[in-house]
Chains A and B, each alone.
Chain A
């Protein structure tokens, strides 16, 4: 039992940590490209901003779903009988 709980805790850490890593890299790449693009062509800034927010939501979603699953494992314990 303790063994399972310990492994679940490790799994939650991995889910949140790796998800955060991926989401941060994604947001950073996209934000950098957005700033670069709007410095080159400031007149496109508003149009690009809408698209950037959509993509930010898409990138964030995978991470937040991971957080939800990790929290579910930590509190609702579907695997511990």
Chain B
């Protein structure tokens, strides 16, 4: 529902517009329309985040697959050169952090996937904030779905925490693989303070806190950045919406249109930096956490 479309008698207020846009298209596991009521609810899933993240993952894989299929050892074309620069960048970062060549074979492609996928998901922020929701407004309700749509999958805490928990599982897997079950258990018990048996509970508690803090901050950082970006795009859209029904140079509302264009341009340009940087940081922290699993104390 775009604010400017309903600008007549019963248009939504600014708060209602934002609240409507912050609601996910949620389904439960028997595919009924539901609304999440508690903060943590494992009986619902966000269909829109799932849909867009899977579509973008397939798109990213397809683009990289095409580049790999058409790669030539002669003079590379522009597209091949771009993909080569990207994968060499990831490869060199991986070489700097993970010193085990055998695990790099899995982890460097993983980091490339993470980078490309998160970049694409973040880049959904660059679409006009109302474009896909308005499209959904004309298709979705007639097909029996509720009229909610959020197009940035990384502005959903479920997506980002899912990614960071996957990274945690991978680093736990590498901890066991590199150090063995015994070595890893010993590290869990003896790591920060020393190998004294009366220190074992304290050490174990510290390790648990470290894992929890790493994983939660990893996911929250991406979510917070994307959520803030999306909210600010909505506010900028509201400025334009307010302008559209106060089209009178004498009232103050007229200048909101100019503010809309300026603020939209500035924030979009800044956001190009933010989406790339956040995808890069997520990739680097993935590498660093997996690299830490290789260090022994």
Using a CB–CB cutoff of 8 Å, the interface residues on chain A facing chain B are 50, 53-54, 56-58, 60-61, 64-65, 67-68, 71-72, 75-77
Contact = CB atoms under 8 A, between A and B. Distances in A.
Contacts, number: 54
Interface string B271-296: 00010011011001000000000000
How many B residues touch the partner, as a band? Answer: 20 to 34
B239 to A, nearest CB: 13
Nearest to B224: A65
22 contacts: A53-B277, A53-B280, A57-B281, A58-B281, A60-B225, A61-B221, A61-B224, A61-B278, A61-B281, A64-B225, A65-B221, A65-B224, A65-B227, A67-B228, A68-B228, A68-B231, A71-B228, A71-B232, A75-B15, A75-B235, A76-B19, A77-B15
Contacts of B19: 75-76
B contacts with A: majority SS: helix
Contacts of B277: 53, 56-57
A64 B224 contact: yes
Contacts of A57: 277-278, 280-281
B7 interface: no
Nearest to B155: A68
A1 B280 CA distance: 44
Given A60-B225, A61-B225, A64-B228, 12 more contacts: A53-B277, A54-B281, A57-B278, A57-B280, A60-B274, A64-B225, A65-B224, A68-B224, A68-B228, A75-B231, A76-B15, A76-B19
